[in-house]
Structure formats: structure tokens, C-alpha cells
């Protein structure tokens, strides 16, 4: 098998329209496709998607944000319990990072539009990630995201390491 790289990241949100508006406003996302309700029987839901048989996909929207991987956003119905999102320190916890031209300006803009931006941005002055500026934020439903920027090769690249893929270079 030959892998070409990351095609999309899929995740479930509590309110699809709210999530789409957030990604449009915060990252200039564009909706590429929408499925509407997915018609499937109980066995399909359990065997193919690994969800409880009674759950259903109400809608899927796929978004593009610049030249990175696609975002596939799901809204389900039928889930009887809502688990808290995992913290980044827990197994299964995750975040997504968006490369921007200026993480400091992006953080300021995100704060201005009411996004919960954590402390920072932080500029990495030495080590393998030297030259990276980053800051974490939370989407309205609590999912951690990150914005990053860099003005040139990172420290490990300067030391002869392989080039890190970045949407800016794509």
C-alpha cells in the first residue's frame, strides 16, 4: 500500500451549523459537500461505524481550510449519553493545528471575535521546534485547536532533518 498522506480528519460536533460557522469565521473554511441524513439500518451503524445501533447521522459537511486536510464534521442523533471531551493529556485526547501566516495576529483576531484563546502565543527560541509560534484555543463545543506559524525552517530542519510537511509549502 502506498500512502499519499492525510486526506481528512473526521469528528462529531454537537451542532453542525454552529461548528461550520465557527470554522468559516475563524479559519475561512469553505463547505465543499453536504450529505444530509444518512439512511442506514441498525446493523450498518454498528458494524460499519462502530456506534450504537439506534444512532443516526443527521448530516455530514466536509470543509476546506486553505491547502490542508479536509475536515469532515458529523452531527449524530440518538446518543443517550454525552461524554466529556478528553483532555490533551488523556489517551485519545487530540487537537488539530492550523498553519497561519502570523500566529500572534491570528490569536488577537480570534480573541476579538470571542474565541476562547489560551495564554500565548509562544515563540520557541531553541531546540527542534525553534522558530515555531503557537497558541491553543477552544472551539465553542470545547475541542482544542491550535494555530501555528513559522518564518522559516524549524530547528531540526536547520540541523539537516527531513522537511516537515506544511500547508504553506503545499
- In angstroms, the CA 25 to CA 109 distance is 10
Strands 144-150 and 132-138: antiparallel
What is the pLDDT, as a whole number, of residue 169?
66
- In angstroms, the CA 17 to CA 63 distance is 12
Is the model's pTM score more than 0.85? yes
pLDDT tens digits for range 125-167: 999 888 999 999 999 999 999 999 998 888 877 777 777 777 8
Residue numbers of the chain with a pLDDT score lower than 70: 169-170
In CATH terms, is domain 1-78 a member of 3.40.50? no
Q: Is 19 exposed, middle or buried (0-12, 13-18, 19+ CB in 10 A)?
A: buried
DSSP code per residue over 96-119: EEEE-S-HHHHHHHHHHTT-EE-S
What is the pLDDT, as a whole number, of residue 160?
78
- In angstroms, the CA 90 to CA 69 distance is 24
| Superfamily, domain 85-164 | 2,3-Dihydroxybiphenyl 1,2-Dioxygenase, domain 1 (3.10.180.10)
| Domain boundaries of the chain, sorted by first residue | 1-78, 85-164
What is the pLDDT, as a whole number, of residue 170?
58
Strand partners, 31: 63
Amino acid at each position: 500500500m502506498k500512502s499519499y498522506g492525510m486526506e481528512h480528519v473526521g469528528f462529531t460536533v454537537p451542532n453542525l451549523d454552529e461548528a461550520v460557522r465557527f470554522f468559516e469565521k475563524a479559519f475561512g473554511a469553505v463547505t465543499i459537500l453536504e450529505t444530509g441524513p444518512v439512511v442506514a439500518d441498525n446493523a450498518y451503524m454498528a458494524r460499519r461505524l462502530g456506534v450504537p445501533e439506534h444512532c443516526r447521522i443527521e448530516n455530514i459537511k466536509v470543509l476546506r481550510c486553505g491547502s490542508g486536510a479536509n475536515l469532515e464534521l458529523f452531527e449524530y442523533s440518538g446518543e443517550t449519553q454525552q461524554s466529556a471531551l478528553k483532555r490533551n493529556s488523556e489517551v485519545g485526547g487530540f487537537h488539530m493545528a492550523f498553519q497561519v501566516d502570523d500566529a500572534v495576529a491570528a490569536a488577537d483576531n480570534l480573541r476579538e471575535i470571542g474565541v476562547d484563546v489560551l495564554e500565548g502565543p509562544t515563540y520557541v527560541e531553541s531546540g527542534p521546534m525553534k522558530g515555531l509560534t503557537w497558541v491553543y484555543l477552544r472551539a465553542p463545543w470545547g475541542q482544542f485547536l491550535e494555530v501555528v506559524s513559522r518564518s522559516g525552517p524549524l530547528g531540526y530542519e536547520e540541523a539537516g532533518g527531513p522537511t516537515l510537511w506544511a500547508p504553506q509549502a503545499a
